[in-house]
Amino acid sequence: MILLDIIMMIISSLILVV
């Protein structure tokens, strides 16, 4: 698992929520 991949997933989730 790459940290960047996890971060991108979190950012995407935040964008979808907002």
pLDDT band at 18, cuts 50/70/90? Answer: confident
Token code pair at residue 3: 């940290």
pLDDT band at 1, cuts 50/70/90? Answer: low
pLDDT of amino acid 8: 97
pLDDT tens across 7-16, in order? Answer: 999 999 999 9
Produce one character per residue of 1-18: b if its CB has 16 or more CB atoms within 10 Å, e if not: eeeeeeeeeeeeeeeeee
17 vs 1, higher pLDDT: 17
